[in-house]
Structure 1
Amino acid sequence: MNILKISFSSKNDLHTTGESKGSLVDFLRNSKDEPYIPATHIKGIMRTEAERLLRSTENIPCYITGNPKIILCDEVKSGGFRCDVCRVFGVPNTEGGGDYREGKIRITDFMTKKSVTAVSRMHVSIMRGTQTKQESALFNMHSVPSETEFSGFVLIREALTDSEDKLLKASIHSMSHYGIGKDRSRGLGGIENLKISDVSQDEYLGLR
């Protein structure tokens, strides 16, 4: 099994929604009160970017992520694979798509090695239909401050072909341009200083 370590730092404040208490929306924290980014969020962004890349280069029809309606290709519906996206990231258990099938990779949660002082922002909830504020609309959102370093791992369970490896690396780099977390349109979630490195299983067990 090959293992990639991915690390980056937050270019802007970053928010992944955690526990809500009244008018306070906190970011996700682990048992040590440290912020983390869920593996599902990282994988979802990477897959969204991988799909987008192959739609532009190979005209694939699928929308597993990033679109309100899930669209599957005929090959996936019949139990096969059409493109490298599903081979690498797997197939979710969706109606008409058969059972869940794991891809060639697994992704861990992305952690930071220290607790941080939260950045607090006040927001007003707006009703989209009327563009007016909701009742009790004011809320306080905590974010992870900029320059916070995160790292996580991609576990490559099965050997990747050259094209699969290129797609995986491209999706990681594309994620760094897309951003992480909530409220990216408001200037949150930018990342920088992306690093991808190969680590051994012994290093992985010691690093985690």
Structure 2
Amino acid sequence: MANTKYSTLFKLAIMSGARQGELLGLKWSDVDWVNKQIYIQRTFNNGNWYDVKSETSNRRIDLGPSMVTSLRKWKLECPINALDLIFPNETGNPINHNNLTNRYFYPALEKAGIGKIRFHDLRHTYASLLIEQGENIKYIQTQLGHSTHTITLNVYSHLISSTNTEAPLRFEKTIFEASRHCEGTKTKKGSMANP
């Protein structure tokens, strides 16, 4: 059961970009199964509950179907707990973040042959991959819970490629197709005026 819990937790960290404290504070009532989202409303850090960092940190994060399936499977195994936590410890309370990293995260990295990274780097991985696949920076900002897209750009601008061979192709296609459309309209109008 512990393996499923932590593999689901680590997968959700990568697939949502949520902060560690946000993940540890997640409750089953925060899952919107219909819209495939998790609702970030609180955080658990250093043994205490907190409101989220800002108004924009209070957000809904979109999940893919594979992640939703993993959550559904874990829900069937997850022990019922008074706090309704998605990832409770053995006593039904939130997981201690030091225990999480030292007992489970670092050993999982070692087992996978990955060098030692911070748990927070999973959030950076999420953002980096969204940028790499060309997602809109405003969308990335809302998913990460940054207060402005400027913050997102400041943190991740080094990942945004300075070259993009596809952009000029799309631009030319838009311009020339619009131009051809206008030419065709003029020709049709002209031919109607002079039968």
TM-score (norm 2): 0.23
Question: Highest relative contact order (Cα 8 Å, sep 6+), 1 or 2?
Answer: 1
Which protein is richer in strand relative to its size?
Answer: 1
Which protein is richer in helix relative to its size?
Answer: 2
Q: Which has the larger radius of gyration?
A: 2
